[in-house]
Every structure is written in structure tokens, then in C-alpha cells.
């Protein structure tokens, strides 16, 4: 699926059932750029989280742990999230 088709599908899904924080927004063909501007940062964040650049890490010890022992890294990340994370709004 091409990126533009994927974005169009995501926009359709969002129109049918938008998240709570987007309830007052609407989209039509003229407002696709508005939606794209809202979704692009989310896509960039998804890439940063799921495919970190281990060549230029912000925290070297975490990058080393991820490359040497990914299971321990994920376990530590989950524990940290459970301890310090905030519940998502409903």
C-alpha cells in the first residue's frame, strides 16, 4: 500500500471514529492537508520509537543495552513505563 493510500485510509478511519482529542475536527477533500499536518508528527514519533538510530544515541548506555540484550531492554522499558507512565485518556 502506498503512503498516500495509507494516509487516505487512516483519514477515513479517523472520520468514522475520531479519537477524543479530535472530536471537533472534520475532514473533507479540502482539509486533507490539515489532517496530514496532524498525523505527520505522530508518524515521525512512531519511527523514532520503533526504529531508533543507534549510531547517534541520546543515551549511550540504553543504546548499548538495546543492541546487546534487547529482551532486558524491553523489560526495563516496560517496568519504567508502568512505574512512571500516565494512563491514556478515554
Give the global pTM. 0.46
Question: Do residues 59 and 71 both lie within one domain?
Answer: yes
Among residues 51, 27, 36, 29, which one has the least CA distance to residue 3? 36
Q: Is the pLDDT of residue 76 over 90?
A: yes
The CA distance from 78 to 72, in Å, is 10
Q: Which of 16-20, 30-34, 44-48, 84-88 has the highest mean pLDDT?
A: 84-88
Quick one: DSSP state of residue 29?
G
Question: Do residues 71 and 43 both lie within one domain?
Answer: no
**Do residues 66 and 54 touch, judged by C-beta distance below 8 A?**
yes
Encode pLDDT of 32-71 as tens digits: 656 666 777 777 777 777 788 888 888 899 999 999 999 9
Question: Do residues 61 and 40 both lie within one domain?
Answer: no
Of 1 and 77, the structure prediction assigns the larger pLDDT to 77
Q: Which domain holds residue 83?
A: 54-90
Question: Do residues 5 and 47 both lie within one domain?
Answer: yes
Question: Do residues 44 and 59 both lie within one domain?
Answer: no
Backbone angles phi and psi of 65, in degrees to 5: -65, -40
Question: Do residues 4 and 44 both lie within one domain?
Answer: yes
When divided into structural domains, the chain yields a total of 2
* pLDDT reported for residue 79: 94
Amino acid at each position: 500500500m502506498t503512503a498516500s493510500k495509507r494516509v487516505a485510509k487512516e483519514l477515513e478511519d479517523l472520520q468514522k471514529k475520531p479519537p477524543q482529542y479530535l472530536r471537533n475536527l472534520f475532514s473533507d477533500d479540502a482539509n486533507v492537508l490539515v489532517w496530514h499536518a496532524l498525523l505527520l508528527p505522530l508518524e515521525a514519533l512512531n519511527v523514532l520509537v520503533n526504529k531508533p538510530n543507534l549510531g547517534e544515541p541520546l543515551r549511550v548506555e540504553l543504546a548499548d543495552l538495546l543492541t546487546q540484550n534487547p529482551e532486558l531492554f524491553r523489560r526495563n522499558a516496560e517496568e519504567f513505563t508502568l512505574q512512571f507512565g500516565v494512563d491514556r485518556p478515554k
